[in-house]
């Protein structure tokens, strides 16, 4: 197998599910590929470039079959489905959201993805400037939510997951509101929680920009 950037990144994504982001090292990756560590640096300058290459593959998976909204479709439905798909893509990899966050993706699909998103929002009445400002609120929400969601799965803890114990219970007499809210605040794998936050942001975008 010829070593190249794509092969290295795909191997790293496979290892990611086994060891997580913190356990993914260039040394471990080189061992998995059966090469010396120095061989990796012919293709990637450092670990950040590795993460960029991994994120590029994830981005391609997200946008491989991307199409614009059907005629007459509501812009919120199309945008919401984009955001849901992004979350599911990141959830398909252990620590996927942490890998994706802050990476530089220069895939050929990027301009088309941006163009379809902007045109969908502009057709709904947004200015280009407002669409460019508004969509990142959703983008940052899904990444932040998913990072928190994956962090609470317990894979990083050596003992029992504290988010799945009664330790989260608050003193109902001293902190009655916190005690009542605890099941909602610390639900570590909540599709319903994600959807509620998504709808709040969509409603906020509509109210703020389409008044």
Contact residues for 120 (Cβ-Cβ < 8 A; gap 6+):
68, 69, 75, 78, 79
Instruction: List pLDDT tens digits, range 94-139.
Output: 999 999 998 988 877 789 999 999 999 999 999 999 999 999 999 9
Q: What does the pLDDT look like over 58-73, one tens digit per residue?
A: 999 999 888 999 988 9
Cα distance between residue 100 and residue 54, in whole Å: 8
- For 151-164, how does the pLDDT look when each residue is reduced to its tens digit (9 = 90+)? 887 665 556 665 56
Residue pair 93/57 in contact by the 8 Å Cβ criterion? no
Contacts of 142 (CB under 8 A, 6+ apart): 83, 86, 87, 90, 198
In this prediction, residue 109 carries a pLDDT of 78
CA dihedral 35, 39, 44, 50 (to 10 degrees): 10
Stated pTM of the model: 0.88
Mean of all residue pLDDT scores within the chain = 90
| SS3 at position 169 | coil
Q: Are 94 and 17 in contact (CB under 8 A)?
A: yes
Q: What is the pLDDT of residue 76?
A: 97
Greater model confidence, 161 or 83: 83
Which tokens hold the place of 107?
């895939």
The pLDDT value given to residue 158: 56
Report the number of secondary-structure helices (H) and strands (E) in the chain: 10, 0
Share of the chain above pLDDT 70, in %: 91
Measured CA to CA, the distance from residue 40 to residue 93 in angstroms comes to: 22
Nearest to 9 by CA among 31, 33, 35: 33
* pLDDT given for residue 108 in this prediction: 76
Res. 167 pLDDT band, cuts 50 70 90: low
Q: How far apart are CA 210 and CA 127, in angstroms?
A: 9
**Residue 179 pLDDT:** 87
């Amino acid at each position: 197998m010829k070593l190249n950037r794509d092969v290295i990144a795909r191997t790293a994504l496979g290892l990611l599910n086994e060891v997580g982001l913190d356990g993914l090292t260039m040394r471990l990756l080189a061992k998995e590929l059966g090469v010396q560590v120095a061989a990796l640096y012919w293709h990637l300058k450092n670990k950040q470039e590795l993460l960029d290459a991994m994120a590029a593959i994830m981005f391609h998976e997200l946008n491989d079959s991307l199409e614009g909204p059907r005629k007459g479709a509501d812009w919120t439905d199309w945008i919401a489905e984009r955001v849901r798909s992004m979350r599911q893509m990141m959830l398909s990899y252990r620590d996927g959201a942490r890998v994706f966050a802050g990476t530089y993706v220069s895939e050929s699909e990027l301009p088309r993805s941006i163009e379809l998103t902007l045109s969908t929002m502009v057709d709904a009445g947004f200015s280009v400037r407002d669409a460019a400002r508004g969509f990142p609120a959703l983008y940052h929400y899904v990444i932040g939510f998913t990072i928190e969601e994956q962090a609470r799965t317990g894979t990083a803890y050596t003992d029992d997951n504290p988010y799945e114990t009664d330790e989260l219970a608050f003193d109902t007499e001293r902190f009655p509101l916190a005690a009542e809210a605890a099941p909602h605040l610390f639900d570590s794998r909540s599709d319903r929680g994600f959807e509620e936050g998504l709808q709040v942001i969509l409603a906020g975008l509509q109210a703020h920009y389409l008044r």
